[in-house]
Amino acid sequence: MGGAAALAALGPAIGQSIGTAHAQGLSDRPIKIVVPYGPGGTSDIVARALQEPLRKALQRTLVIENKAGATGSIAARYVANAPPDGTTVLVPNTGNVLAPLMQDKQSFIDYRTSFTPIAQVADVPMVMVISGDMPAASVAEFIAYVKANPGKVNYGTAGVGSFGHLAGELFQRMTGTKMEVVPYSSGSQTDVAVANGEVKMMINSLPDARIAIGLGKGAKAIAVTTAGPTPLMPGVPPMSDTIPGFLAVNHFGVLAPPKTPANIVAILGDAIRSSMADEAVREQYTKLGLEPRSGSSEELAKLIADDYARWEPVIASLNIGK
């Protein structure tokens, strides 16, 4: 996945290769970009930022369809059952991919086999934030404090089974710590709770971390959960510096129905990568706290498989929704 310079250089070449002739493999019908949440949220903005550059690249009408419900499973089924002709795609995140693992078997949909990956478009780093009254300034000091004070440290989540909840459980598994879980009904409530010291830690999305820190009550970021440092949170080290192998990143990608032909995958993938070189798209993502990406079909398939391997054991240990 290239950086900004590589994407910018790649964009014009890809855009020229698409054109009308390249897009002739697609149906003339409008292309539906299905968002598994209602209007206005991060997923919706991710999709809408791509709408205009994709329209130009593919020379097709693009329509955003919001199909909220069941943590994305309603939208997922809709797209999985659509014709594999490139006119219906899904823009899920890692939380949507993992949600079926926490639902009953009748509701289960396997993202590894139920879709054709097209391209990755963004990563949302998670951030470990601790309250201002915590006597720690690093992950190592936080771990030492939790172990020295059993039963006294809690952490907040945006609900049972939320990505922050899973990340917190993975943290405990990999460090041998034990903390009380305090579920809230939203990420914003968790932000306020850690800022006020009601909970001592959260692992939440980068945008939420900015909110908690910005409340000015002393909450501080001590680690990001990406493989390396992120320019979106300067000076904050990756968790893996202290806990080797720790990774918890919320990926956004574009998926098509199963058995979508390779030529259509190539057409859509090239158009998406061209769109991701658009500076307006990248700027909009960065302002949201997202890292723009430009991954291939194969890279997105590997991300999904890796997420199943990483998170399925954590989810199974929590016995959620079974």
Q: Are 94 and 65 in contact (CB under 8 A)?
A: no
pLDDT at residue 307 above 90?
yes
Tell me: pLDDT of 108 over 60.
yes
Q: What residues have CB less than 8 Å from 296, skipping those under 6 apart?
A: 119, 269
- 202-229 pLDDT, tens digit per residue, is 999 999 999 999 999 999 999 999 999 9
pLDDT reading at 242 higher than 50: yes
Long-range Cβ contact pairs of 47-54 (< 8 A, separation 24 or more): 47/91, 49/280, 49/281, 49/284, 49/285, 50/121, 50/272, 50/275, 50/281, 53/274, 53/275, 53/278, 53/280, 53/281, 54/271, 54/272, 54/275
CATH T-level topology, domain 125-241: D-Maltodextrin-Binding Protein; domain 2 (3.40.190)
Q: Which pLDDT belongs to residue 104?
A: 80
Domain boundaries, the chain: 4-123+250-318, 125-241
Least trusted range by pLDDT, from 15-19, 67-71, 171-175, 208-212: 15-19
Q: What is the mean pLDDT of the chain?
A: 92
Query: 252-270, pLDDT tens digit by residue?
Result: 999 999 999 999 999 999 9
What pLDDT does residue 70 have? 86
Q: Which of 129, 304, 276 is nearest to 207 (CA)?
A: 129
Is the pLDDT score of 194 beyond 90?
A: yes
Q: Is the pLDDT of residue 95 over 50?
A: yes
The tens digit of pLDDT for each residue in 25-51 reads 889 999 999 999 999 889 999 999 999
Q: Is the dihedral of CA 22, 24, 29, 34 positive or negative?
A: negative
CA distance 78 to 92: 13
Residue for token pair 């720790």: 246
Q: Which has more confidence, 177 or 104?
A: 177
Q: What percentage of the chain reaches a pLDDT higher than 70?
A: 92
CATH class of 4-123+250-318: alpha beta
3-state class of 237 per DSSP? Answer: coil
pLDDT at 109 over 70: yes
Is this structure's pTM higher than 0.85? Answer: yes
- Per-residue model confidence (pLDDT) at position 14: 47
Two domains, one topology: 4-123+250-318 and 125-241: yes
